[in-house]
């Protein structure tokens, strides 16, 4: 669960900073586009780990004693 929050924080920080920097440094736009793609993959990793965590919790609660 802690790793999920680290992924979310990394994705949010990367997206926010790359959008701000891209607005100020237009000559490096392709570099920041690649940064946005990497941050989107981090966000996708967070969503997958959150879904897996919920499914794991459901499976554990439905497990017979």
Phi, psi of 64 (to 5 degrees): -70, 150
Of 2, 1, 6, nearest in space to 57 by CA: 1
- pTM flag (> 0.85): no
Task: Locate the domains of the chain by residue range.
Answer: 2-59
DSSP-derived secondary structure for 10-57: HHHHHHHHHHHHHHH-GGGHHHHHHHHHHHHHHHHHHHHHHHHHHHHH
What mean pLDDT is predicted for residues 3-10? 84
Task: Give the rounded percent of residues in the chain with a pLDDT score beyond 70.
Answer: 98
Q: Is the pLDDT of residue 50 over 80?
A: yes
């Amino acid at each position: 669960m802690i790793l999920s929050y680290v992924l979310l924080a990394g994705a949010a920080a990367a997206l926010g900073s790359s959008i701000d920097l891209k607005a100020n440094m237009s000559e490096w736009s392709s570099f920041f586009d690649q940064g946005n793609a990497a941050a989107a993959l981090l966000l996708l990793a967070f969503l997958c780990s959150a879904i897996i965590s919920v499914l794991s919790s459901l499976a554990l609660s439905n497990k017979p004693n």
